[in-house]
Amino acid sequence: MQATRLIAIRHGETAWNVDSRIQGHLDIPLNEVGHWQARQVAHALAAEPITAIYASDLQRAQATAQALADVTGAPLTPEPGLRERCFGHMEGRTFAEVEVSHPEQARRWRQRDPHFAADGGESLLQLRERIAATTNRLAQQHLGGLVVLVAHGGVMDILYRLATGQDLQAPRTWMLTNAAINRLLWTPEGLTLVGWADTQHLDANNTRDESTV
């Protein structure tokens, strides 16, 4: 059977994650915690036989992926197709701010209207099409290998839905933790979920070494 193993990782934490501010395509860097998370996930995967690493070209994903590339020696390639959903005019704001300024758009976003796109942004349907096409293309290039995809929360959400058959409007019951390890299997028939939201490398026993931040 033609198959490619995938590890999908959401980038490490940013200051805007902490503030619940919409990042989208804005190029926000990792914060101190995010850099630590990137190192932790890199060490957790150090022994994996990784064929290739692809990461969104936004710096929060690139920095997370670079930590993994440094430890494993696997080649890292920027992949714009793995960018976060574009939220157009909403980017840079909190959801509370959007509710005040654009209540109807906020309602459609909250209800996960698959056709809704903020001015200048993407709909969930467009995001799913982009992520499915990108994942299929990359997996086909590395049949039999282990490929790491470093991306964003919205991308992780779409990958989970593709692997489990969840509708775009289905309520989210799964975690999208920064720097968690998510495992999937790709075949020409589609994605299958292998494991999700492994955060053992981020638990309280892995004390942050402030001297290396």
d(CA 73, CA 100): 47
d(CA 175, CA 169): 16
Q: Write out the E strands in 71-162.
A: 76-78, 146-151
The two three-digit tokens of residue 68, written as one number: 């993994």
Q: Active-site residue 142, yes or no?
A: no
Q: Which of 179, 125, 116 is nearest to 152 (CA)?
A: 179
Residue 182 and residue 150 in contact, taking contact as beta carbons nearer than 8 Å: no
Sign of CA dihedral 25, 129, 174, 59: negative
Among 13, 84, 91, 122, which one carries the catalytic annotation? 84
Q: Active-site residue 89, yes or no?
A: no
Active site members: 11, 84
